[in-house]
Amino acid sequence: MEVEKIIKEIIKKNDKKILLLIMDGLGGLPEPTTHLTELETAKKPYLDEIARVGMCGLSIPVLPGITPGSGPAHLSLFGYDPVEHKIGRGVLEVLGVGMEMDKNDIAIRGNFATIDENNIVTDRRAGRIPTEQNQKIVQILQEKIKVINGVEIIIKTVKEHRLAILLKGKNLSPDISENDPQKEGLPLRKITPLKKNAEFTAGILNEFLKQAEKILAQQNTKARTILLRGFSGIPDIESFEKKYLLNPVCIASYPMYKGLAKLVGMNVIAGLETIDDEIEILNKVYNDYDFFYLHYKKTDSAGEDGDFNRKVQTIEEFDTKIRGMKNLKFDVICLTGDHSTPSVLKGHSWHPVPIVIVSQNIIPDDVNSFTERACAKGMLGTIPATSIMYILLANALKLEKFGA
Amino acid sequence: MEVEKIIKEIIKKNDKKILLLIMDGLGGLPEPTTHLTELETAKKPYLDEIARVGMCGLSIPVLPGITPGSGPAHLSLFGYDPVEHKIGRGVLEVLGVGMEMDKNDIAIRGNFATIDENNIVTDRRAGRIPTEQNQKIVQILQEKIKVINGVEIIIKTVKEHRLAILLKGKNLSPDISENDPQKEGLPLRKITPLKKNAEFTAGILNEFLKQAEKILAQQNTKARTILLRGFSGIPDIESFEKKYLLNPVCIASYPMYKGLAKLVGMNVIAGLETIDDEIEILNKVYNDYDFFYLHYKKTDSAGEDGDFNRKVQTIEEFDTKIRGMKNLKFDVICLTGDHSTPSVLKGHSWHPVPIVIVSQNIIPDDVNSFTERACAKGMLGTIPATSIMYILLANALKLEKFGA
């Protein structure tokens, strides 16, 4: 993108500190009886105060009408065009279970599936076996299969029938076909190379499946094979440090978000479990970084579960907990979400997300409440999420003049 | 750009008149004690009346978060993408001191600098010699050096140690290296061609430096050589007349803006000094053109100086003076700035700029006051500056239907 070239020319380092607070799946929709959204229902005096002193608006995660997954939504927030920079499904699955990926690795999504004696796929999800059964089988598979042809194979349970597989080795390629026939009643396919240099990888995975099927046949389970999909390597993304001359830190408890932050080169704090841990560590590492990405997951989880009241409670929890950072001085604070997850939709949605920016260099608008409807009237207007980083950098006076 | 192709297809000429009023560096930020911006502080009943009858909004000069120089900001206003059309630093310097550039000319920025007997640069700014000394030396240099190898050399003082140089001749090229070592304590570099066809130009400038150094050695000054930078030719830009089928005139008093207007092919009125001159000439040439660009500089100068009260006064001055054009009939009037220059930042900034458009074909909104916060609520919304010209042309009914 042209703008990235401009940023390269005008970016400069200074000692100003930026805090990006992300409430996952923040935006919502009105509850049918009260006609109020989760944000409008929650009592959140501290977030409202941030809105009062800040400049408010709405952020479009990717494009109008487009509902993003966590990957694209976060890339946007971090200032990388998610249409240009694609993250493979395998990579997201692998990051989501907390595996660490390196440059040469290949990530894969897997489904346990049922096949009959003629190799016909009879259940693409192996009857959605319980997660505990998945964990047991994965442990057995991992004990018996560790390396094939010098390539290390790491297997982890996701949940129910889903698993994540990471190949670590040399000369690996994601350019191979799936073994998933996509429909039940059809025979399992062989994995074939789509490019010449992928023969090695296809061979390893066919051997892996042969060994896995032999082991699974000896277990008491509907899982008889693994459908492999989403083969992908780590995307080639310029690091935050290089792109913005920032020294960034990720303060998150969920593996997926730590993984996404690691993709863009953030320093990731390990071992955090709760928002209390996150606030505590924020206080602790305040002097060590100049960009802080703090992620709160619970709003999204409640929205995904369709639990309106719980989502309201999570907003209220965040409002209370976040006060623990009251004495820290950030030059620029941005509070927003990566996307909306309205409880009534039980999933991510395309709706623009409330955003507020606080800095010395904004004009505070007259928005007094951090809600979808109030922020829509804010002075920041409705902006693409990819422009947020530029506005934060500008407010931190880290961007010089473009042209004379 | 795609939109430029569309405009080409649908543009038509008619007798409607458009007035573009530019208050340079218009937008501001709140003053810390009153919490009001310059525009919110100024008494400006006439500008507020324009806002009341017009449709208001905010204009983003280049991109969110990007602070533009005068060149990119004005290209945007004139409807040229400043990311695509770059204006060289030399060109801006040369235009800024009022030189006229033609197609084959090369513009150069220069610094007087101090070198020792071993050709080591000891002061890249020659102790920031006073402007009067600069003027004296430039006069001597210009008297003794007029033409080298058939290329005319024109030298003008900018201020302090800075000067602008224009080469007029044939077969000139900007593809040459600087003689500036960038750091003090390093030897002056030779100017070398970066492309084969630039040998001639490099030779001329090395000869120019040799002659200049000999002359400077005989003066009582710290200026012992000239560091040459920003070599640039005039950008290849389609003229206003061709692009929009307009017969445009520039009414400005500062050389830089007259130069920028000339770059896009506007007719430029010479000899204007004050806003009174500008209004008087606007009345005088009303019948001769169909597009009028009127530029008011003082708002920016006051902002650059960090003088909040003076910026308020300049807004009030413009509010008073502009009434002198009350009896003129324009079909479309647009009042805005090229960028913001908040007094508290003492320089250009990235903040969107208030804009109001008055025409028979708008829906007047309920904005009654020409300020940042009020305009943010206007019906025009927040628009990229590059779209202003299209909206003005549309309001002047100069754009036909696109597609059937």
Neighbours of A277 (CB within 10 A): 14
Q: Which residues 73-102 of B are in CB contact (within 8 Å) with A?
A: 82-84, 86-87, 89, 92-93
Q: Mean per-residue pLDDT for A71-80? A: 96
How large is the angle between the packed helices B199-217 and B131-144, nearest 10 degrees?
Answer: 120
Nearest to B66 among A362, A390, A404 (CB): A390
Q: Which residues have CB under 8 Å from B402's CB, separation 6+?
A: B6, B9, B10
Q: Which residues have CB under 8 Å from A369's CB, separation 6+?
A: A48, A51
Kindly report, residue by residue over B39-65, the tens digit of the pLDDT: 999 999 999 999 999 999 999 999 999
Kindly report, residue by residue over B127-185, the tens digit of the pLDDT: 999 999 999 999 999 999 999 999 999 999 998 999 999 999 999 999 999 999 989 99
**What was the pLDDT predicted at A1?**
58
Q: Mean per-residue pLDDT for B333-346? A: 98
CB contact under 8 A, B347 and A2: no
Query: What residue type is A351 in one-letter code?
Result: H
Average pLDDT, chain A: 95
ipTM of the predicted assembly exceeds 0.85: yes
Q: Which residues have CB under 8 Å from B196's CB, separation 6+?
A: none
Q: Mean per-residue pLDDT for A187-207? A: 96
CB contact under 8 A, B29 and A363: yes
Residue A312, pLDDT above cutoff 80: yes
CB contact under 8 A, A390 and B345: no
Kindly report, residue by residue over A327-342, the tens digit of the pLDDT: 789 999 999 999 999 9
Kindly report, residue by residue over A124-157, the tens digit of the pLDDT: 999 999 999 999 999 999 999 999 999 999 999 9
Residue A3, pLDDT above cutoff 90: no
Which of A237, A268, A240 is closest to A255 using CA atoms? A268
Query: What residue type is B159 in one-letter code?
Result: K
Q: Mean per-residue pLDDT for B360-382? A: 97
In chain B, what are the helix, strand and coil shares in percent, each to the nearest 5? 35, 20, 40
Which of A54, A51, A53, A71 is closest to A62 using CA atoms? A71
**What was the pLDDT predicted at B278?**
97
**Residues B371, B378: Cα–Cα separation, whole Å:** 11
Nearest to B65 among A366, A387, A403 (CB): A387
CA neighbours closer than 13 Å in the CB half-sphere of residue B24: 24
Nearest to A402 among B29, B67, B381 (CB): B67
Kindly report, residue by residue over A280-299, the tens digit of the pLDDT: 999 999 999 999 999 999 99
**What was the pLDDT predicted at A404?**
80
CB contact under 8 A, B372 and A379: yes
**Residues A60, A38: Cα–Cα separation, whole Å:** 19
Residue A326, pLDDT above cutoff 80: no
**What was the pLDDT predicted at B290?**
98
Q: Which residues 58-77 of B are in CB contact (within 8 Å) with A?
A: 58, 62-72
Q: What percent of chain B has pLDDT over 70?
A: 100
CB contact under 8 A, A381 and B382: yes
Domains of chain A: 2-85+237-395 (3.40.720.10), 92-232 (no CATH)
Q: Mean per-residue pLDDT for A216-227? A: 96
Q: Which residues 120-139 of B are in CB contact (within 8 Å) with A?
A: none
| Three-class secondary structure of residue A208 per DSSP | helix
Nearest to A403 among B64, B69, B350 (CB): B69
DSSP string, B3-41: HHHHHHHHB---S--EEEEEETTBB----TTT---HHHH
Which of A355, A370, A383 is closest to B381 using CA atoms? A383
For residue B1, name the pLDDT band (cuts at 50, 70, 90): low
Kindly report, residue by residue over B63-119, the tens digit of the pLDDT: 999 999 999 999 999 999 998 888 888 998 898 898 989 889 999 999 999 999 999
CB contact under 8 A, A363 and B373: yes
Give per-residue burial for B245-265: e unless 16+ CB within 10 Å, then b.
bbebbbbbbbbbbbbbbbbbb
pTM, to two decimals? 0.90
CB contact under 8 A, A402 and B69: yes
